[in-house]
Chain A
Amino acid sequence: MKRLPILVRLLRDPDRAASLSLAEWDLALRQSTSTNLSPTLLALLEERGLLDAVPAQPRAHLEWVRALATRHRQAVRFEVECIQAALVKEAAPLLLLKGAAYAMAGLRAGAGRLFGDIDILVPKTRLDQVESALMLHGWAGTGHDAYDQRYYRQWMHELPPMQHVRRRTSIDVHHAILPETAPVRPDPDKLRAAAVPIEGMPGLATLAPCDMVLHSAVHLFFDGEFDKGLRDLLDLHRMLQEFGGRPGFWDALPGRARELQLGRPLFYALRYSRRLLGTRVPDEVLDAVAPLGPGLPLRMLMDGLFGRALLPMHTSCDDAFSAAARFILYVRGNWLRMPPRLLARHLFHKAFISKKTEIKK
């Protein structure tokens, strides 16, 4: 395999921080800035007591983002409190997903991680009540046309994103982790049944550790957009490191993936997290997950695609095939969301009809 970009090498082995030249720091920070990973890098270096080893100029950049990370952490806490207050009757405990879950549960994956929306999971039968309660407390559906409403409500696994009218913050209300139209449908009841309360935060819960990893994996490897790919891969790496030390985690992971029909994304998660970030995974787990992966030809193709799309979004990391790889994965992401006929109809509508209405407006 080609030499990995300097940022990836640094995330993989933070101890390198002590020996990087200024020119290497220059490039590493450009890569982390364009991938929004500088606050994570700061957290990683501080965790290991390495910040003092960083030369003054790059350290100043890391200090610049400290303010953003601190402010982000406060804002997330405040927002979660507001959501909790709005949904005290409709969704208790409040089940947080992704970034908000990592941050509130104090996971290492949440340290320094910047994200835009808060994601929650509620039972499908409660969707209407949850939506009304949020509207009563100031969240409004974002301006989508009738087609978008139908797209979300009939085919997707979430409500159209809602935005708070005063704070401009966004919430995504999910009832499942994959679209209704996707070929696999992990049972949301099973996910909710296994949810765990967040210690010291009454009324808040996250998915169980295995499910958190699987959700992160399916989100990354079934999606079509990779601008945050490295960040999401780093989430997986950090969760696998942290949960991997807990008894029973590795034993349960492959079986849980099979049970939720998420063997393939788990295979990819372990493969690329190991390749890019050097995640340590027990051999038994690799053996158990190997049959869930694709055959050799497809695996080679995927290595070529993910091996490019998961690198930092920076010109220094691109080669002649990077743009093509991202485009193919974009098409694949849509393909995995819907059956071909529905997808064709959806893309046709988006390309011609939605655009025309927008122009008229």
Chain B
Amino acid sequence: MLTVASLSRTQLEARLSSAGLLVQTGAFVSRIHSPLRQVADGIDTLYGDYPLHDGDAFADFHVGLRHPGGMRRWYKPQVNFDLDGQLPFEPLPQAHAFPMLEWGLNWCISTRAHAYLMIHAAVVERGGCAAILPAPPGSGKSTLCAALVNRGWRLLSDELALFRPADGVLVPVPRPVSLKNRSIDVIRDYVADAVFSVPVSNTTKGTVAHLKAPSASVARAHETARPAWIVFPRYEAGAATSLTPIPRASAFFRVADNAFNYSHMGGRGFQTLAAAIDGCASYDFRYSALDEAMAVFAALEPPR
């Protein structure tokens, strides 16, 4: 299948500003419209490996990033995220267009794809076993995820753990990893050939840059993984590395707290999550040094 990298920059911009660029990320196809250079730059830098579809193919999400129109086109230009004619968010400065696309695509999945129990968590896999890292922003989840996927783990997602209720496996959506503030430099130092989008400052989350997903993870986007570990990460400057087992009941509630659609899923959501918790070993994980964290993850034994 053709990938986005097969398009020249001119062709890429032409698709984005006319019929839309159809990109497949994991189970989802998005049709992206945008005349904005920032969006073309981000896609050009980070989406080269992803499958490309023809203009008349089926798309799950029809999204656009456009100027709101009026005078704001010239004076402090802004950008709107548009989901097929609806504007779910307030406009942002035009410079924030690419992060807005990433947030918007996450939002599309988390508000629509109720075939899955969806948890706000990073997911990485090794040897068919997946580690789920649910956590609120600021816990160092994405930093840890970015480091792991550049040290032998496969990226399933940086933001969305999608549990398939029928068999309890995790379905990948490998997309760029969102890093904030100091984490950007930490990962730049830690990953020799890291490819980043242009950092955008003064967003609601501070400075944001997206790290390209490893090509091998994108190529294996159709391979599901079995949940094996649930790890609640917590970065604390200067903290000693510690991995503490936690009881299942408390793991259950803490994961449910991070779910996007637990209540929508009703009984099915409960059963799916209960089965996942039963099959996983759950831990609290405190860290400050990435190398030590990598060693702890490398030593994780699959639960029987």
Interface residues of A (CB under 8 A from B): 22-23, 25-26, 30, 33-34, 55, 57-58, 60-61, 63-68, 70-71, 74, 314-315
- A33 CB to closest chain B CB (Å) equals 7
A63 to chain B: which residues have CB within 8 Å? 115
When C-beta atoms are compared, the residue in chain B nearest to A21 turns out to be B56
B residues 16-63 near A (Cβ < 8 Å) are 27, 29, 56-60, 62
Task: Rank and list the top 10 A-B pairs by shortest CB-CB distance, nearest first.
Answer: A67-B114, A22-B58, A57-B58, A64-B114, A26-B58, A23-B56, A71-B266, A63-B115, A315-B85, A64-B115
Q: State whether the Cβ of B261 lies closer than 8 Å to any Cβ in chain A.
A: yes
B84 to chain A: which residues have CB within 8 Å? 30, 33-34, 314-315
B residues 242-271 near A (Cβ < 8 Å) are 261, 263-266, 268
Do A57 and B60 touch (CB < 8 A)? yes
When C-beta atoms are compared, the residue in chain B nearest to A24 turns out to be B58
When C-beta atoms are compared, the residue in chain A nearest to B114 turns out to be A67
- A25 CB to closest chain B CB (Å) equals 6
How far, in whole Å, are A65 and B84 apart by their CA atoms in the complex?
17
When C-beta atoms are compared, the residue in chain A nearest to B27 turns out to be A60
A33 to chain B: which residues have CB within 8 Å? 84
Q: State whether the Cβ of B86 lies closer than 8 Å to any Cβ in chain A.
A: yes
Do B115 and A34 touch (CB < 8 A)? no
28 A-B pairs whose Cβ atoms sit less than 8 Å apart in the complex: A22-B56, A22-B57, A22-B58, A23-B57, A23-B58, A26-B58, A33-B84, A34-B84, A34-B85, A34-B86, A57-B60, A58-B58, A60-B27, A64-B112, A64-B113, A64-B114, A65-B114, A66-B114, A67-B115, A67-B261, A67-B264, A68-B114, A68-B264, A71-B263, A71-B266, A74-B266, A314-B85, A315-B85
Do A71 and B264 touch (CB < 8 A)? yes
How far, in whole Å, are A59 and B164 apart by their CA atoms in the complex?
16
- B88 CB to closest chain A CB (Å) equals 13
Q: A26-B59, A315-B85 are in contact. List 7 more A-B contacts (CB 8 A).
A: A22-B56, A25-B58, A34-B85, A58-B58, A60-B27, A67-B264, A315-B84
A66 to chain B: which residues have CB within 8 Å? 114
How far, in whole Å, are A71 and B114 apart by their CA atoms in the complex?
11
A315 to chain B: which residues have CB within 8 Å? 84-85
Chain B binding site: helix, strand, loop or mixed by DSSP?
A: loop
How far, in whole Å, are A58 and B60 apart by their CA atoms in the complex?
8
A34 to chain B: which residues have CB within 8 Å? 84-86
- A92 CB to closest chain B CB (Å) equals 30
When C-beta atoms are compared, the residue in chain A nearest to B85 turns out to be A315
A314 to chain B: which residues have CB within 8 Å? 84-85
A60 to chain B: which residues have CB within 8 Å? 27, 60, 115
When C-beta atoms are compared, the residue in chain A nearest to B55 turns out to be A23
- B27 CB to closest chain A CB (Å) equals 8
B112 to chain A: which residues have CB within 8 Å? 64
- A171 CB to closest chain B CB (Å) equals 20
How far, in whole Å, are A66 and B58 apart by their CA atoms in the complex?
20
How far, in whole Å, are A71 and B263 apart by their CA atoms in the complex?
8
How far, in whole Å, are A314 and B263 apart by their CA atoms in the complex?
29
B residues 71-107 near A (Cβ < 8 Å) are 84-86
A64 to chain B: which residues have CB within 8 Å? 112-115
A58 to chain B: which residues have CB within 8 Å? 58
Q: Counting chain A CB atoms within 10 Å of each CB, which of B29, B58, B85, B265 scores highest?
A: B58
B113 to chain A: which residues have CB within 8 Å? 64
A23 to chain B: which residues have CB within 8 Å? 56-58
How far, in whole Å, are A86 and B29 apart by their CA atoms in the complex?
48
Do B268 and A67 touch (CB < 8 A)? yes
Do A67 and B266 touch (CB < 8 A)? yes
B265 to chain A: which residues have CB within 8 Å? 67, 71
A74 to chain B: which residues have CB within 8 Å? 266
How far, in whole Å, are A193 and B194 apart by their CA atoms in the complex?
74
- A257 CB to closest chain B CB (Å) equals 37
When C-beta atoms are compared, the residue in chain B nearest to A72 turns out to be B264
When C-beta atoms are compared, the residue in chain B nearest to A30 turns out to be B84
B27 to chain A: which residues have CB within 8 Å? 60
How far, in whole Å, are A195 and B264 apart by their CA atoms in the complex?
34
How far, in whole Å, are A32 and B263 apart by their CA atoms in the complex?
24
When C-beta atoms are compared, the residue in chain A nearest to B31 turns out to be A26
B57 to chain A: which residues have CB within 8 Å? 22-23
B115 to chain A: which residues have CB within 8 Å? 60, 63-64, 67
How far, in whole Å, are A55 and B86 apart by their CA atoms in the complex?
26
A57 to chain B: which residues have CB within 8 Å? 29, 58, 60
When C-beta atoms are compared, the residue in chain A nearest to B268 turns out to be A67
How far, in whole Å, are A26 and B58 apart by their CA atoms in the complex?
5
How far, in whole Å, are A34 and B56 apart by their CA atoms in the complex?
20
When C-beta atoms are compared, the residue in chain B nearest to A64 turns out to be B114
How far, in whole Å, are A67 and B115 apart by their CA atoms in the complex?
7
How far, in whole Å, are A30 and B114 apart by their CA atoms in the complex?
17
- B176 CB to closest chain A CB (Å) equals 24
A68 to chain B: which residues have CB within 8 Å? 114, 264
How far, in whole Å, are A122 and B266 apart by their CA atoms in the complex?
32
B residues 266-304 near A (Cβ < 8 Å) are 266, 268
- A75 CB to closest chain B CB (Å) equals 9
Do B264 and A61 touch (CB < 8 A)? no
How far, in whole Å, are A26 and B62 apart by their CA atoms in the complex?
10
Q: Counting chain A CB atoms within 10 Å of each CB, which of B27, B60, B263, B265 scores highest?
A: B60
- A79 CB to closest chain B CB (Å) equals 14
How far, in whole Å, are A63 and B164 apart by their CA atoms in the complex?
12
B85 to chain A: which residues have CB within 8 Å? 34, 314-315
How far, in whole Å, are A195 and B109 apart by their CA atoms in the complex?
44
How far, in whole Å, are A65 and B112 apart by their CA atoms in the complex?
8
B59 to chain A: which residues have CB within 8 Å? 26
How far, in whole Å, are A50 and B268 apart by their CA atoms in the complex?
25
When C-beta atoms are compared, the residue in chain A nearest to B29 turns out to be A57
Do B266 and A70 touch (CB < 8 A)? yes
